[in-house]
Structure 1
Amino acid sequence: MLTLPRLAVAAGVLLALMPGAARAEFPDREIRVVCGFAPGGACDIVSRLIAEHAAPIFGQRVIVENRAGAGGKIAMEFVARSAPDGHTVYTCAAGQMSMLPELPGPPLAVDPGRDMTPLAALAVPNYVLVVPADRPWRSMDDLIAHARANPGRLNYGSAGGGTMQQLAGESFKHFAQLDISHIPYRGAAPAIVDLTAGRIDMMFTNLADVTGQIQGNQVRVLAFSDDMGSEQFPGVPRTSQTWPDFVVGGFFGVCGAAGTPRAAAERWHDAMRRMAANPAVRERLLSLGLVPRVEGPDEFAATIARDRQRFGAVIRAAGIREE
């Protein structure tokens, strides 16, 4: 006669022998890193860096999939509807996770707080105000003076409506009391093409987006809107030095669908830690204006919630709406 403990063991053995009963540990197949913007921008660069260096850590092929459009919402919704197992992740940034939910308008198809699981953060970007190199403005004050003397004549570009670039641009309008127009693009890369060609007047964006253009003397940095600044540009001011509430920065990390197991999140956290400890990865991030800052699932979720509260206050004060 089987005792209760022996019955439990026997039941466990039978369950394990049943088809599909055993769940494989993450990762057990190819991994997809989904970027919500066109190739060439900061999101794409970070996605490919993650894919390259996560593959040997996970022992699985890692591919990047660009699903551009709607300020990153298309990609976010795709990942939110994917299996919550850690094999399909979203290269998430503050614009989608903390800003979009605070913008007035129709409810989002995907609520990041409800439908996404923060897995791990990798880095925080320097955020810069840049202008074409052929413009005469040598400082933020020069630009503001010109914009005020020519109301309605200047414009700024962004990676699309509802992006961090729009939040920064509209914040600039609000705090500096300027009349400038918003020109949304389908990603940062095409906006920067027009910026370097002089077809738009200015842009707030990740330093990673414009590192090459700065080095090639195609664009000029006038200010940082993040709260860090950069040793690469010691004389460039931060917007918060003039307007204390004007702080627009962000983060890059990976998020999965709601319900992603904690074990998968911890594996992603471990992968990010190992990547950031790799001198080649660290040097690459810093060269792109990205400061390594790894956070696990709980700390990353707290960062997202804090930024959502902070950006929401700016959005309401400036009357910002998604275009």
Structure 2
Amino acid sequence: MTRSLLSKTPTRKHFLATLALLAAGLAAPAFAQGDYPNKPVKLVVPFAPGGNTDLIARMLAQGLAEQLGQPVIVENLAGANGSIGASRVAGAPNDGYTLLFGTAGTQAINQSLYRNLGEKNLADYEYVALVTSIPNVLVVNEGRTPVRTVAEFVAAERKRGAGLSYGSPGTGSTVHLSGELFKTATKLDLLHVPYKGSAPALTDLMGGQIDFIFENVTPALPFVQSGKLRALAVTSAERLPALPNVPTMKESGYPDFVTATWNGVLAPKGTAPSILKRLQDATLKVAGSADFKTRVTALGGEVRLMEAAAFRDFTRNEYQHWGAIIKNAGVTVQ
């Protein structure tokens, strides 16, 4: 009987082996997090391929892959001014492997624009870093509207009266809302004509079907540089290197007219601080490089770097800014 009981009693060797197994199990999650990333990272672009957000995301992803030592795959999930892709990221696992390349639309406009938007709270995400700002440019077809300044444009349209139309790549875009801000500032009678993207809107502007667009600089720049469209003003706070002879709206007599879309990296709420720090450092290093700045400038954009805390505060201010424009314009989407 004694021998039988002793044979079932754990020995010191068995006890130490059990402790080692337990320790290994407890250490596994910490090791996995500390080893981040150990598989490909997905960067969701909530718009179709080919736009400025998509182009800049792919430039950033290339650099992030080098910094993180893992592939960074860009996935386009378009729809509802970016809300579909943003919602997908908000509901993704908070392990750092699904990120959002957010914009003014997804983080500061849609919350006021859409009545039934799920992500109403700016705290639905962790903020990693802001990287770029893409202002708009007021462009006209000189054959249809032979003016060279904003003042001439407004004066000509006052004489013309009703019927002035402007295009946009879609309701709720910064392009559309810049037009609404212009309408409020000038008291002109303007008709908004939404398109499915910038390309058809610019095509109709060149064809004389609409009068003007406050287009993002990136898609409008080639047409301005080729002389097919005339740029009257940019909506940035300062003149752009890509259009050094084009004044700002502030210089043109509208001191509060500063609008732009922007791009930043976000993660699902609850992502570990250590992962967020790794992503922030890598993002800022890539976006701060001379090569990245050169490529963004060529697109008509500006590199604008902000760490997580500043990016979060900036987004809150942008939410108030665009919310006021939307309220004044009376724009809502079901």
Q: TM-score, normalised by structure 2?
A: 0.84
Distance of 1:133 and 1:261 partners within structure 2: 53
Shift, 1:266, TM fit: 1.8
Contact 1:126 1:228 in 2 (8 A): no
Q: Report Cα offsets for 1:29-50 as digits up to 9, x if no partner.
A: 2222222222222111111111
- Which of these residues, 106, 109, 124, is aligned with residue 115 of structure 1? 124
Distance of 1:146 and 1:264 partners within structure 2: 55
- Which of these residues, 36, 40, 58, is aligned with residue 46 of structure 2? 36
Aligned to 2:320: 309
Q: Report Cα offsets for 1:87-124 as digits up to 9, x if no partner.
A: 22222111221122233x51412225032222111112
Contact 2:139 2:232 in 1 (8 A): yes
Is 2:273 aligned against 1:262?
yes
Aligned to 2:9: none
AA matched with 2:269:
A
Structure-to-structure mapping, 1:138-217, within 5 angstroms: 138-217=148-227
Contact 1:100 1:163 in 2 (8 A): no
Q: Please tell me the root mean square deviation across aligned C-alpha atoms, in Å.
A: 2.7
Alpha-carbon distance change, 251 to 112 in structure 1, aligned in 2, over 3 angstroms: farther
SS of residue matched to 1:292: strand
Structure-to-structure mapping, 1:73-92, within 5 angstroms: 73-92=83-102
Alpha-carbon distance change, 28 to 313 in structure 1, aligned in 2, over 3 angstroms: same
Aligned to 1:288: 299
Aligned to 1:131: 140
SS of residue matched to 2:250: helix
Alpha-carbon distance change, 17 to 125 in structure 1, aligned in 2, over 3 angstroms: closer
Distance of 1:65 and 1:195 partners within structure 2: 31
Distance of 1:57 and 1:271 partners within structure 2: 6
Alpha-carbon distance change, 240 to 185 in structure 1, aligned in 2, over 3 angstroms: same
Structure 1: where are the runs of 5+ without partners? Answer: none
Shift, 1:255, TM fit: 1.4
Distance of 1:32 and 1:262 partners within structure 2: 19
Contact 1:70 1:160 in 2 (8 A): no
Aligned to 2:60: 50
Shift, 1:83, TM fit: 1.6
Q: How many residues align?
A: 315
- Which of these residues, 229, 243, 249, is aligned with residue 219 of structure 1? 229
Tell me whether 289-298 or 257-266 shows the greater mean CA deviation: 257-266
Shift, 1:300, TM fit: 0.6
Larger radius of gyration: 2
SS of residue matched to 2:39: coil
SS of residue matched to 2:32: coil
Moved over 4 A (4+): 9-12
Shift, 1:172, TM fit: 0.7
Structure 2: where are the runs of 5+ without partners? Answer: 1-11
AA matched with 2:173:
T
Contact 1:125 1:290 in 2 (8 A): yes
SS of residue matched to 1:223: strand
Q: Percent identity?
A: 32
Aligned to 2:72: 62
Contact 1:159 1:184 in 2 (8 A): yes
Shift, 1:227, TM fit: 1.6
Alpha-carbon distance change, 223 to 66 in structure 1, aligned in 2, over 3 angstroms: same
SS of residue matched to 1:229: coil
Distance of 1:265 and 1:191 partners within structure 2: 39
Q: Report Cα offsets for 1:252-303 as digits up to 9, x if no partner.
A: 1111222222222222221222213322211111111222121111111011
Tell me whether 188-197 or 78-87 shows the greater mean CA deviation: 188-197
